[in-house]
Amino acid sequence: MATTILFSPALFWFSFLFFLSFLSLQTISQPRVNHLLTFCNNRSNSFVEDSSYDSNLRSALKYLRGTSPAPPYLSVTKGLSPDTVYGMYHCRVDITKSTCGVCVRTAITEISKRCTSQKEAFIFYEQCMVRYSDYSFFGLQELDGPNALLPSTTDFPTTSRFGETLPDKMNKLITRAASTTLWPNPYFSQDQQHVTELGSTYTVDSLVQCSPDLDPGNCTVCLRLAVEKLLECCSRSRSALNFLPKCLVRFNTSSNADVPSFEKKHNGDDPSSGVIKGDKIFEGIFVAVIKASALALVRLML
């Protein structure tokens, strides 16, 4: 006896809508990471695909991305000279291990696409940094390396004293971080302060952090350089981050409608502004698909 299978358009669209909703939950549950800068060092030596260096590089990056849960810092050395690869990643200590892992995996995927033949490369995100090279940089202080600077889009007004107090705040954190050598979070210090001025109160969260392979002296030098560059551009910013290969400094003020601010000119999704915001495109497409699917389902059920 033949079996008859009835096709229900309404059931099909309901299942399709449920599937899209499931994908949405999976996407939303992933922490967001923000790309700042990729630096493929064209002055470094180059390599070709399927060479010994290429094989060692793929092995090193696989090791870095495969560690779970992700610690804030990890280094690796793969292969023999002259094809040895040295790699590392460095996450901000104030983020979760899950966010660190997502950032490192995303960074490794992107640096593999963008830097295809250079033996030295760096990629910076707001949450982490990944790098590799054909020379050992462990324990070295690099004052001429690339850095990723991320200021906020709004400033404090000129009447605010925030910029005057920021250097002293950062110097105290640097002194504290350089003397904090115990694991699991060596060379890290953060602070939260409530400030009252201009008739309102806001909160300032600040942190400084060094790569654990540095000694206290080199950590101090790196952080002072990072703060110097930060203050040159961002002393009036409501928030700012400066990420160097071996250290980072960051401050963030709470948003408060009662505290005056001035809007800066911002280039949006222009890559020259330093931050890529491609996730907005996916969100727009996804919302459009959900709305169209829901409308089709309603029509079928009427």
Is 138 inside any structural domain?
Answer: no
Residue type, 284: G
**Residue 125 and residue 206 in one domain:** no
Distance of CA 232 to the CA centre of its chain: 22
Looking at the chain, the whole-number percentage of residues with pLDDT higher than 90 is: 61
**Residue 164 and residue 244 in one domain:** yes
pLDDT given at position 273: 32
| CB 8, CB 291: distance < 8 Å | no
Instruction: State how far the Cα of 67 lies from the Cα of 124, in Å rounded to an integer.
Output: 19
**Residue 120 and residue 184 in one domain:** no
pLDDT given at position 168: 95
pLDDT given at position 105: 97
Looking at the chain, the whole-number percentage of residues with pLDDT higher than 70 is: 74
Is 195 inside any structural domain?
Answer: yes
**Residue 246 and residue 189 in one domain:** yes
Distance of CA 257 to the CA centre of its chain: 27
User: Could you say which of 70, 103, 133 is where a domain stops?
Assistant: 133
| CB 88, CB 17: distance < 8 Å | no
**Residue 186 and residue 83 in one domain:** no
With 60 as the cut, is the pLDDT of residue 191 above it? yes
**Residue 209 and residue 171 in one domain:** yes
pLDDT band at 296 (very low <50, low <70, confident <90, very high): very low
Most confident of 70-74, 83-87, 252-256: 83-87
Is 276 inside any structural domain?
Answer: no
Instruction: State how far the Cα of 268 lies from the Cα of 138, in Å rounded to an integer.
Output: 36
With 90 as the cut, is the pLDDT of residue 222 above it? yes
180 φ, ψ to 5°?
-100, 95
Is 272 inside any structural domain?
Answer: no
Is 73 inside any structural domain?
Answer: yes
pLDDT given at position 159: 77
**Residue 164 and residue 255 in one domain:** yes
- Please give the residue range of the domain that contains residue 196: 148-265
User: CA angle, corner 251, sides to 30 and 254, nearest 5?
Assistant: 75
Segment 194-204 mean pLDDT = 83
Segment 104-132 mean pLDDT = 98
What are the tens digits of pLDDT across the range 229-278? 999 999 899 999 999 999 999 999 986 544 444 334 333 333 333 332 23
Token pair, residue 88, equals 């590392």
Is 88 inside any structural domain?
Answer: yes
- DSSP bridge partners of 196: 201
CATH number of the domain at 118, please.
3.30.430.20
**Residue 172 and residue 236 in one domain:** yes
Q: Count the domains in the chain.
A: 2
pLDDT band at 31 (very low <50, low <70, confident <90, very high): confident
**Residue 251 and residue 156 in one domain:** yes
Is 20 inside any structural domain?
Answer: no
**Residue 189 and residue 104 in one domain:** no
User: Could you say which of 65, 99, 133 is where a domain stops?
Assistant: 133
**Residue 98 and residue 189 in one domain:** no
pLDDT band at 291 (very low <50, low <70, confident <90, very high): very low
With 90 as the cut, is the pLDDT of residue 219 above it? yes
**Residue 49 and residue 104 in one domain:** yes
Average pLDDT of the residues of the chain: 81
pLDDT band at 143 (very low <50, low <70, confident <90, very high): confident
Is 122 inside any structural domain?
Answer: yes
Which one-letter DSSP state was computed for residue 260? -
Segment 85-100 mean pLDDT = 96
pLDDT band at 300 (very low <50, low <70, confident <90, very high): very low
